[in-house]
Chain A
Amino acid sequence: MPKRLASSLSYEVLEHVFSFIQSDKDRNVVSAVLCKSWYEIERWCRRKIFVGNCYAVSPKMVIRRFPQVRSIELKGKPHFADFNLVPDGWGGYVLPWITEMAGAYPWLDEIRLKRMVVTDESLELIAKSFKDFKVLVLASCEGFSTDGLAAIAASCKNLRELDLRESEVDDTSVHWLSHFPETYTSMVSLNISCLGSGEVSFSALERLVSRCPNLRSLKLNRAVPLDKTANILRLAPRLVEFSACTYSAELRSDVFSNLAGAFSNCKELRSLSGFWDVVPDYLPAIYSVCSRLTSLNLSYATILSPDLIKLVSHCPSLQRLLVLDYIEDSGLEALASNCKDLQELRVFPSDPFDAEPNASLTEQGLVAVSLGCPKLQSVLYFCRRMSNAALVTIAQSHPNLNRFRLCIIEPNTADYLTGEPLDVGFGAIVEHCKDLIRLSLSGLLTDCVFEYIGKYAKKLEMLSVAFAGDSDLGLHHVLSGCESLRKLEIRDCPFGDKALLTNAAKLETMQSLWMSSCSVSFEACKLLSQKMPRLNVEVIDERGPPDSRPENCTVDKLYIYRSVAGPRFDMPPFVWTKDE
């Protein structure tokens, strides 16, 4: 754009134009690339920021750059923390951020956190500092208790959303729900499904639900019994999302008809989840809403295939299904013929640590869904066997796949038909699915699969690798070929110093790299750290100082991420950097 034209547009006009640019990527382009005045205007009118790694930048820097933020999203620990690979105490503390923002952003109204350590002190600070606070999402967080929740409930008069999905909350026996004053009526979305049974009072819950007319999403915890469930549904007939609760052991017709009646009242219900301990006899109680359901999460329900088939045959509008492997191939075939709008499928293992499979779920189920559901885009599938032929079929029938995560439970499992590695199958996935942004590999894989990935997966942003590859060549293919790669996480692969050092520059273009139980030496980590000052190279090793071990000893865990904030100040003793 010619300079003349840019400067002739007034501040107000540009700000108005920018307000239509919602995506972070596009806003970054606007501010970084074009010209100084656009940079200035953009930074003053930017309201929403996303920080994918809380250590990539410091709160002070963010505040300096964007003085008028209203909504922030922060992520802390690396993804593999979900699987207990990151020791406790590693980091991801939100308090420094809240402390800085309390002073700088009095109008902050949304905080979304993932995998961070949140303390009661942080929650109390949020409650005190932000007068118009509206949205608090704590996903997979920990470190806080019901005391902190009580502070939020008591002070945040305009709170619309409180979502504690999959967080760990300590129960201090405080009836925190009762701390919402009687005058509080703003709740729109409440997710407390992670709380234990002691942490929720039914009467307080019912009172809260009955006075919040805008409540659209309610996810309760396991301990709410069926008759209470019916009551709550009757109090909130305009719910769009609901997480159902414990089902009692025997079918009682009065409870059943009460529940069925309550559900049939909820004409706007589109998403159901929960279903812990559900007894199949009660499932028909939800049939009245099934035809409108777009999302169903049965991944905690031990319902077997025949009942699952009955259920999904009532749900023709389903777009998203999460389920256990009890659904079996036959259930997935039924899904494929009934649910033509399906976009996302996740199948979890019911008994992942048992050596024998306890449900007849194989690659055939996934192939059936692939062939039957033209809109399928996102797959997460745990199974015990796979073949290249199946993967090729899936790839060819679904060029529009954007997320494909396959977990063959036993590491190094070959193609069960041919005994060969699954390189060709995954190669087909990356070759045909040109829009693939997320991929997780499993099974027997050689360096070959990484060659395919480097060659074809040009839009891939996140790759997860375990027990795969033969040599540094594998890692080199990925780092040198995948242009859009942001996050790479690797465990138990024979990748070492050479590939890492050869591709050091690439690491600065990525958000982060995780490598555990690989073949990287401490020497290489120190070298990398010296040569790349804008990378934080963290060696996570609880065994003691890495350089106290023999030269050829490899590091336990390695987490490398780009940062403009420099080394962090809150490193625990088991994190080693070049300065140790």
Chain B
Amino acid sequence: LIATFPNIYISTTVQYIDLSINQSAINLQSIMVFEKDLNLDATELRLGLPGSSEESLRISNKRALPDMNDDSGVAVAKKCDQETAPPTKAQVVGWPPIRSYRKNSLQTKKTEAETGGMYVKVSMDGAPYLRKIDLKVYKGYPELFKALEDMFKFKVGKYSEREGYNGSEFVPTYEDKDGDWMLVGDVPWEMFINACKRLRIVRGSEARGLGCVV
């Protein structure tokens, strides 16, 4: 609004460290080397609230889902029963920085959408994202499979009671109310949608030996 303020000299009793750039460059380099040597564990999670201590904020390589960096194409070593959800975090106020207006819009949409539906999460080995689908909108397995095929770009293949999904590269499985992982398609549809807690599309090789209802 108004022209520049004159520089003001401050004399205080506080001791200042020498903040010259040259010295700081050397210090920075040594800090960078130090951090590399630390080799922070890729899966180390700290749950301290922000600001509580510097260390609690030093999380490196977060959220690198193992599947994404898996170059060799070997099926991921995660077993079905090992797939645990990450620990719930205390939500940090104001983070991520999304305006209240937008947050409220998302919230309304979520509650409107989720009442009356049977929403389950769907994941696929190798895909770095999840989907949520409403099982109620599908009339049976053929429709469900078509939707999954469109969503994740794969083919379910032929199902037989004896051999399961023989010859398919990917196989749909689900976790039932007891926590067991089953092949999708082995029980009547109505029973399935009531029992299904979440879906996972696994690589064909993984699906062998999965519990089936006899």
Contact = CB atoms under 8 A, between A and B. Distances in A.
Given A82-B99, A382-B96, A497-B14, A362 B109 contact: no
Interface residues of B, number: 65
Interface in A391-434: 407, 409-414, 416, 419-421
B4 interface: yes
B109 A277 contact: yes
A201 interface: no
Nearest to B23: A473
A532 B8 contact: yes
Contacts of A410: 62-63
A509 B4 contact: yes
A357 B93 contact: no
B106 A350 contact: yes
B139 to A, nearest CB: 16
Contact of A356 (B92, B102, B129): B129
A494 B95 contact: no
B200 to A, nearest CB: 12
Contacts of A531: 8, 10, 12
A194 interface: yes
Given A352-B98, A355-B85, A494-B54, A451 B105 contact: no
A288 interface: no
Contacts of A420: 36
B187 interface: no
A191 to B, nearest CB: 13
B188 interface: no
A375 interface: no
A82 B97 contact: yes
A51 B109 contact: no
Interface in A249-281: 276-277
Given A82-B99, A194-B101, A353 B91 contact: yes
> Residue among B91, B99, B121 with the most chain A CB within 10 A?
B99
Interface of A: 28, 32-33, 51, 56-57, 80, 82-85, 140, 166, 194, 276-277, 299-300, 302, 306, 348-362, 382, 384-385, 407, 409-414, 416, 419-421, 440, 444, 446-448, 451, 464, 466-467, 470, 472-473, 476, 491-492, 494, 497-498, 501-502, 504-505, 508-509, 517-518, 527, 531-532, 534, 562, 564
Contacts of A85: 93-94
A470 B182 CA distance: 49
Contacts of B100: 82-84
B5 A348 contact: no
Contacts of B21: 451
A121 B102 CA distance: 28
A359 B127 CA distance: 10
Contact of A362 (B25, B101, B106, B128): B128
A502 B94 contact: no
B95 to A, nearest CB: 7
A517 B94 CA distance: 12
- SS class, residues of chain B in contact with chain A: loop
Nearest to A61: B1
B144 interface: no
Given A359-B129, A473-B19, 19 more contacts: A83-B99, A300-B102, A353-B91, A356-B130, A357-B129, A360-B127, A360-B128, A362-B128, A407-B97, A410-B62, A411-B59, A451-B21, A467-B50, A472-B19, A473-B28, A501-B14, A502-B19, A517-B51, A531-B8
B57 interface: yes
The 6 closest A-B pairs by CB, nearest first: A83-B94, A517-B51, A492-B50, A508-B5, A166-B101, A414-B60
Given A194-B101, A360-B128, A451-B21, A32 B2 contact: yes
Contacts of B209: none
B32 interface: yes
Nearest to A504: B10
Given A358-B130, A467-B50, A470-B31, A419 B61 contact: yes
B66 to A, nearest CB: 12
Given A277-B109, A504-B10, A355 B4 contact: no
B24 A451 contact: yes
A85 B129 CA distance: 30
A501 B10 contact: yes
Contacts of B3: 32-33
Contacts of B128: 357, 360, 362
Contacts of A350: 106
A360 to B, nearest CB: 5
Nearest to A527: B12
A226 B27 CA distance: 63
B89 interface: yes
A413 B63 contact: yes
A33 B2 CA distance: 10
Contacts of A412: 57-60, 62
